[in-house]
């Protein structure tokens, strides 16, 4: 099995090595793959003959040709010629936050259909197969060690883009606002007029202490739900689908000859009922993928309230959206920074969300391009060890990007939990600044890592080239010594002759 780090990478890995095999076959059939041997022969012949005597030059030429030829053949066999077969069935991906292992053609994504007619078995050079195997395994181990990170950013953006599309549910929400929230809010303001903190009853004070004064400014106010005399005494003015008729409650409808199908629930039941209540029905408007992510996070009651607030606010700005202003704080000192960051959010949030969704595809495509173009680099460099080492570092660096982005996601989740006033409703200026930082890290951290590993790869490549070069050093040294001896001997002979 060959594990990878994303759904698109399952397909781009196979496709990239398919292109590698096709390019290598083309280079061999056209003879281009043999040109480095001709260049090696010419270089190792002319350089010694232009710098030393014929006898010494012939020895050095022979030694250099032997060493370079052996090294080039070894590189071709181990790192250039496709040898190890890879079948699409052996490539798999197991998400860190999931138990199921996806395979090519059975991932449950749209990639299955898109690549079904393209992907075929292919072959990979031995060295690079081991590089991929080790790199993917190491990266997967690092991701597993980090653990499953809830996709809070994706959940937040999903909530921010969710609206009530069902006309019946939207109408029912508006009716709840008119028939329950407005009367309860008016009653609360009327009774609270002139009250001091000491005059609130115990239940009202507990709700205010726990949920804040702004709790009474939205439809699901806990004060209205939990305090007697508010939602428990108010009722819908028309029958609501799902709530059974009750003669003791719906007395005005009991005068008809036929019993109505639906009744008029109290505002408390209308909001809290597990099956037909507005709270749960509004939560169910979220996509299935959000429900799956939430199954791992298990939002508490306050967070689910924030989700419902956001959905209501996104759906209509006609009076029942509550107070969801992002410009908030304990004083006017936050207003200027909040206004500035709010303006930047209009441009930054879509970019940040798009970057998060695009990173696996970008990495998969870059790896595919590297695999496909690798034969040109190996051939045109003359099958040098240095090129193989640099390519190894490049492949490892790109694969390891998956862990770097997983790490950034971990940091992002921590910052969201620490700096967001609440996840789905109210953002502080500090949280917006954190968003900018995360966006920068998602771009800068992989580039910094790539530059660092590139420097290591170049250094290692030159070191190995130097090691290979030392194999020819004895012959060069011998040739130089022989040439200098002949020159000094000739000079002495000429000196004696002149006497």
Domain end, chosen from 303, 332, 361, is at 332
Closest CA to 234 of 249, 216, 213: 249
Q: Which two tokens stand for residue 275?
A: 């099956």
Taking the C-alpha atoms of residue 407 and residue 422, their distance in angstroms, rounded to an integer, is: 22
Average pLDDT over residues 116-145: 92
Taking the C-alpha atoms of residue 72 and residue 200, their distance in angstroms, rounded to an integer, is: 88
The pLDDT of residue 198: 55
The pLDDT of residue 473: 46
Instruction: Calculate what percentage of the chain has a pLDDT beyond 70.
Output: 71
**Alpha carbon 131 to chain centroid, angstroms:** 23
**Helices 335-380 + 35-49 axis angle, to 10:** 80
pLDDT in tens, 478-487: 444 444 444 4
The pLDDT of residue 10: 92
Residue 443 pLDDT > 50: yes
Domain end, chosen from 297, 332, 367, is at 332
- Please indicate, yes or no, whether residues 130 and 46 belong to a single structural domain of this protein: yes
Average pLDDT over residues 485-490: 46
Average pLDDT over residues 27-33: 95
- Please indicate, yes or no, whether residues 87 and 178 belong to a single structural domain of this protein: no
Average pLDDT over residues 64-76: 90
Residue 407 pLDDT > 60: yes
Residue 124 pLDDT > 90: yes
Residue 134 pLDDT > 80: yes
- Please indicate, yes or no, whether residues 162 and 308 belong to a single structural domain of this protein: yes
- Residue 416 CB partners (closer than 8 Å, separation 6+): 152, 153, 156, 423, 431, 434
In-domain check, residue 222: yes
Domain end, chosen from 313, 332, 351, is at 332
Average pLDDT over residues 80-94: 92
- Please indicate, yes or no, whether residues 312 and 360 belong to a single structural domain of this protein: no
- Average pLDDT over all residues of the chain: 77
Closest CA to 19 of 361, 365, 363, 373: 373
Residue 459 pLDDT > 70: no
Average the pLDDT over each of 24-38, 105-119, 147-161, 339-353 and give the range with the smallest value: 339-353
Residue 327 pLDDT > 50: no
Residue 301 pLDDT > 60: no
- Please indicate, yes or no, whether residues 297 and 426 belong to a single structural domain of this protein: no
The pLDDT of residue 490: 43
In-domain check, residue 294: yes
Average the pLDDT over each of 41-45, 454-458, 491-495 and give the range with the smallest value: 491-495
Taking the C-alpha atoms of residue 260 and residue 461, their distance in angstroms, rounded to an integer, is: 84
The pLDDT of residue 122: 93
The pLDDT of residue 479: 42
Closest CA to 3 of 142, 118, 116: 142
The pLDDT of residue 452: 82
In-domain check, residue 486: no
Taking the C-alpha atoms of residue 324 and residue 219, their distance in angstroms, rounded to an integer, is: 12
The pLDDT of residue 368: 94
- Tally of domains in the chain: 2
- Please indicate, yes or no, whether residues 10 and 138 belong to a single structural domain of this protein: yes
CA distances from 177 to 90, 220, 321 (A): 56, 10, 9
pLDDT in tens, 233-288: 888 888 888 888 776 665 555 566 566 677 788 889 899 888 888 988 888 888 77
Taking the C-alpha atoms of residue 479 and residue 29, their distance in angstroms, rounded to an integer, is: 39
Burial 352-375 (b: 16+ CB within 10 A, else e): bbeebeebbeebbbbbbebbbebb
In-domain check, residue 10: yes
The answer, as to whether pTM is greater than 0.85, is no
Residue 231 pLDDT > 70: yes
The bridge status of strand 122-124 relative to strand 84-86 is: antiparallel
- Please indicate, yes or no, whether residues 253 and 315 belong to a single structural domain of this protein: yes
For residue 244, the enclosing domain spans 154-332
Greatest alpha-carbon span in the chain: 148
- Please indicate, yes or no, whether residues 196 and 311 belong to a single structural domain of this protein: yes
Considering only residues 241 and 378, tell me which one the structure prediction assigns the higher pLDDT.
378
In-domain check, residue 399: yes
The 10 Å Cβ neighbour count of residue 340 is: 12
The pLDDT of residue 481: 46
Taking the C-alpha atoms of residue 206 and residue 218, their distance in angstroms, rounded to an integer, is: 18
CA distances from 51 to 45, 218, 324, 484 (A): 11, 90, 82, 12
The pLDDT of residue 109: 85
Considering only residues 468 and 294, tell me which one the structure prediction assigns the higher pLDDT.
294
Q: Which two tokens stand for residue 76?
A: 């071709």
The pLDDT of residue 243: 82
The pLDDT of residue 409: 84
In-domain check, residue 190: yes
The pLDDT of residue 11: 93
The 10 Å Cβ neighbour count of residue 402 is: 25
- Please indicate, yes or no, whether residues 317 and 369 belong to a single structural domain of this protein: no
The pLDDT of residue 310: 81
> In degrees rounded to 5, what are phi and psi of residue 414?
-65, -40
State the number of CA atoms in the 13 A half-sphere of 81 facing the CB.
11
Average the pLDDT over each of 3-17, 21-35, 407-421 and give the range with the smallest value: 407-421
Average the pLDDT over each of 310-324, 332-346, 361-375, 398-412 and give the range with the smallest value: 332-346
Q: Where is mean pLDDT largest: 11-25, 96-110, 411-425?
A: 11-25
- Please indicate, yes or no, whether residues 281 and 316 belong to a single structural domain of this protein: yes
In-domain check, residue 480: no
- Residue 310 CB partners (closer than 8 Å, separation 6+): 159, 160, 162, 324, 424, 425
In-domain check, residue 492: no
Q: Where is mean pLDDT largest: 283-287, 300-304, 386-390?
A: 386-390
The confidence band for 383, taking pLDDT boundaries of 50, 70 and 90, is: very high
- Please indicate, yes or no, whether residues 189 and 325 belong to a single structural domain of this protein: yes
Average pLDDT over residues 188-193: 79
Burial of 83 (0-12, 13-18, 19+ CB in 10 A): middle
The pLDDT of residue 189: 85
- Please indicate, yes or no, whether residues 182 and 200 belong to a single structural domain of this protein: yes
Taking the C-alpha atoms of residue 59 and residue 472, their distance in angstroms, rounded to an integer, is: 11
Average the pLDDT over each of 88-102, 213-227, 319-333 and give the range with the smallest value: 319-333
């Amino acid at each position: 099995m060959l594990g990878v780090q994303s759904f698109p990478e399952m397909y781009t890995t196979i496709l990239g090595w398919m292109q590698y095999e096709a390019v290598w076959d083309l280079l061999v059939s056209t003879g281009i793959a043999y040109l480095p041997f001709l260049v090696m022969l010419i270089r190792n012949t002319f350089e010694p003959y232009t710098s030393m005597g014929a006898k010494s030059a012939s020895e050095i030429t022979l030694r250099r040709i032997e060493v370079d030829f052996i090294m080039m053949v070894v590189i071709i066999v181990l790192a250039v010629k496709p040898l190890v077969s890879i079948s699409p069935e052996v490539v798999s991906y197991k998400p860190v936050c999931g138990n199921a292992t996806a395979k090519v053609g059975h991932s449950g994504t749209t990639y299955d259909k898109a690549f079904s007619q393209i992907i075929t078995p292919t072959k990979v050079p031995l060295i690079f197969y081991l590089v991929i195997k080790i790199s993917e395994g190491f990266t997967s181990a690092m991701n597993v060690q980090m653990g499953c990170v809830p996709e809070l950013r994706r959940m937040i953006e999903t909530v921010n883009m969710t609206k009530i599309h069902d006309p019946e549910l939207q109408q029912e929400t508006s009716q709840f606002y008119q028939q329950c929230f407005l009367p309860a809010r008016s009653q609360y303001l009327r009774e609270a007029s002139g009250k001091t903190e000491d005059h609130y009853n115990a239940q009202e004070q507990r709700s205010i202490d726990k949920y804040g004064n702004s709790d009474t400014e939205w439809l699901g106010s806990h004060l209205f739900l939990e305090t007697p005399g508010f939602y428990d005494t108010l009722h819908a003015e028309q029958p609501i689908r799902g709530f059974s008729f009750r003669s003791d409650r719906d007395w005005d409808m009991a005068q008809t000859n036929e019993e109505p199908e639906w009744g008029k629930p109290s505002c408390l039941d209308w909001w809290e009922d597990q099956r037909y209540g507005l709270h749960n029905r509004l939560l169910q408007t979220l996509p299935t993928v959000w429900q799956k992510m939430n199954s791992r996070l298990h939002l508490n009651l306050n967070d689910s309230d924030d989700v419902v607030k956001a959905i209501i606010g996104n759906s209509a700005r006609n009076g029942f959206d509550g107070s969801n202003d992002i410009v908030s704080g304990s004083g006017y000192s936050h207003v200027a920074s909040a206004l500035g960051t709010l303006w930047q959010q209009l441009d930054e949030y879509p970019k940040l969300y798009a970057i998060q969704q695009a990173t696996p595809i970008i990495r998969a495509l870059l790896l595919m391009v590297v695999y496909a173009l690798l034969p040109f680099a190996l051939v045109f460099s003359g099958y040098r060890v240095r090129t193989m080492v640099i390519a190894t570092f490049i492949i490892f660096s790109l694969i390891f990007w998956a862990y770097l982005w997983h790490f950034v996601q971990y940091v992002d989740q921590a910052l969201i939990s620490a700096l967001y006033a609440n996840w789905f409703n109210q953002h502080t200026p500090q949280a917006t600044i954190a968003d900018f930082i995360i966006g920068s890290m998602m771009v800068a951290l992989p580039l910094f890592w790539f530059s660092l590993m590139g420097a290591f790869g170049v250094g290692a490549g030159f070191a190995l080239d130097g090691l290979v070069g030392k194999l020819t050093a004895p012959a060069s040294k011998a040739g130089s010594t022989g040439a200098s001896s002949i020159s000094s001997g000739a000079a002495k002979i000429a000196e004696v002759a002149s006497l």
